[in-house]
Amino acid sequence: MCVNIKSLLPKGNVMAYRAPVSDIVFTMRHVAGFDRALDEGVYGDLSADLAQTILEEAGRFAADRIAPLNREGDRHGVTLKDGEVTTAPGWKEAYRAWTEAGWNALPGPADFGGQGLPILLNSACVEMWNSASMAFGIGPVLTMGAIEALVTHGTDALRERYLAKLVSGEWTATMNLTEPQAGSDLAALRSRAEPVGDGTYRIRGQKIFITYGEHDLTDNIIHLVLARLPDAPAGTRGISLFLVPKILPDGTRNDLRCAGIEHKLGIHGSPTCTMAFGDNDGAIGWLVGEENRGLACMFTMMNNARLAVGLQGVAIAERAYQQAFAYAKERRQGRAPGHAGDGMSPIIEHPDVQRNLLTMKALTAASRAICYMTAAALDRAHLAPDEAARRSAQERASLLTPVAKAFATDVGVEVASLGVQVHGGMGYIEETGAAQHLRDARIAPIYEGTNGIQAIDLVMRKLPLSGGDTVRAQIATMRAVVARVVREGTPLFGNTAPRLRDTVECLDRATGHLLKLVLANAPAEALAGATPYLRLFALAQGGAALAEAALAANRMIGEGDGDPAHTGRIALCRFFAENIAVSAKGLEDAVLGGAGFLHDAPAVLAS
């Protein structure tokens, strides 16, 4: 007898998405410092109530309009015919409704039709768009990054011509860096730009892995393209940035095309294109920023995108957790210890499944907190009232950005994988949707700078900021949180304080070690420990953030607030401290004494 797989699935809609607005708002207010920023006037006349209303509306749109298209986008993918890319059914209509509701304009500059709302608030929305559909959510991220690049580096003429339509979402934008021979090594770029003499340039070359390089959602696509001028110096110092529109200002088609679309492991609803520039006379482009300073301009866009990709990791982890949690409540297998009644237990009663679900939830909450803290620091870097405060916030954001990107995207993969595990064999079957989350999540540790590159950035560029004072100040804030747990904690906190104290001290010792290596010009030894160091930093920062949330919840309980979520936040912090943060000592050992593999690697990898 053949069994229909679908008959084994739980009857409820375990694939539905519900935006976790209460968790998002709590993290913003009590961990990322949103309330404090409101009190200090950093956010002008924005109020907590208005922010809550915006996020509730965003959550409804994500759940009702975007999330139902996620599976269709995965199954249908995109098609390329005669140079035109068509997205999955319903995609174009959803994007139009999204832009008409003003969501693309949320963080945009008011002078060009944007709402000028904080990066922190928009980051919470970015999380929800990507939980609903990661393939949908990645497109607007690039447009928002291009807006920031043009605001910061574009000429008045370019801003007047393009920003309003990009801010509204009527047009989208892309980031064209990677070439077949270059990969992450931008010094190897070969695309060329020749000045015409009238202020324009002719662009020729090929770019690969261009997200939303061609699509049917908008009439025009604005490409930001890295290329070399004829007399450019070698290496990254000879790269310039150009704005190259699909449709020129006179309404004619530019000399560029989509030469192919990639067949990918995941995010099938998102077109990933190979773009050819200049098959004929050359694609017309305009310089953004200064000649040979294009990398600085592009990093403005990339830093924006790196936080957004970190939020994608949070988003896919949240979606995978929600589905695994719903499945575990309905699926029955075996008899759990202490199970009352006849028949099999819901698998959520089994201790190992509980551990998996708690690990998923704790990692998701920690990565969300780090991303939101990064967004709040970026807001202060733009909006703080004095230059010293802005500079300090910018250094803090710079320190946290590689941690947010790398840790959150690693968490996305880990949590999605655990989600498949909770589903058991059914997780390996596409009908449940659990496999899609894992497939979609896997790109995030790779694009916008691989997580290995993030670790290099953290150790070689961010630890030395202000002579190491920036990272030391951040560690001091973690210690202060641990001290508060010692003073204010209750028996519900268990061993949170000693476990987090150990984690922070491991981080402190590892930081001192790496700073000495960097200052001693020993990059190989420093980089040998870069990846475990980033994970150690994230565990300490994530644990401190969850402790801040737990302390706020504990205070509310003491004030008579009976919301059961508060007890859950304390328990989640305790679980993280006692079960996840305890790997800190091993990570410290890898940082301090793990560089021996540099001597052994050639022999081991010789064959």
The helix (H) or strand (E) run that includes residue 286 is strand 283-288
Q: Give me 605's structure tokens.
A: 């990898």
Is 448 one of the annotated active-site residues of the chain? yes
Q: ∠ CA 439-443-447 to the nearest 5 degrees?
A: 170
Query: What distance in Å separates the CA atoms of residue 27 and residue 20, rounded to the nearest whole number?
Result: 11
Q: Which position among 148, 414, 448, 505 bears the catalytic label? A: 448
Residue 605, amino acid: L
The tokens for 580 are: 């996840």
Per-residue tokens: 522: 């020993």
- List the one residue out of 427, 426, 420 whose CA is nearest residue 360: 420
Looking at residue 338, its amino acid is: G
Q: What does the angle CA 107 – CA 177 – CA 435 come to, to the nearest 5 degrees?
A: 75
C-alpha 158/C-alpha 365 separation (Å) is 40
The torsion angles phi and psi of 211, rounded to 5 degrees, stand at -70, 125
Residue 206 and residue 260: Cα distance in Å, rounded? 11
Alpha-carbon span 402 to 303, nearest angstrom: 9
Distance CA 227, CA 240 (A): 6
**Residue 471, burial from CB neighbour count under 10 angstroms (0-12, 13-18, 19+):** buried
b/e per residue 397-406 (b: at least 16 CB within 10 A): bbbbbbbbbb
Axis-axis angle for helices 496-519, 469-488 (nearest 10): 170
Q: Kindly report the CA angle at 488 between 485 and 489, in degrees rounded to 5?
A: 60
Distance (Å, whole) CA 482 – CA 485: 5
* Rounded CA separation 95/221 (Å): 14
What is the rounded distance in angstroms from the CA atom of residue 144 to the CA atom of residue 119?
A: 11
Query: How far apart are the C-alpha atoms of 204 and 201, rounded to whole Å?
Result: 10
How far is the C-alpha of 25 from the C-alpha of 33, rounded, in Å? 11
Q: Which residue in 449, 382, 371 sits closest to 407, CA to CA?
A: 371
Radius of gyration, CA atoms only, the chain: 24
| CA nearest neighbour of 57 among 102, 95, 12 | 102
CB 550 within 8 A of CB 568: no
Encoded tokens for 105: 């304009």
What dihedral angle (degrees, nearest 10) is formed by the CA atoms of 466, 468, 473, 479?
Answer: 180
Residues designated catalytic: 448
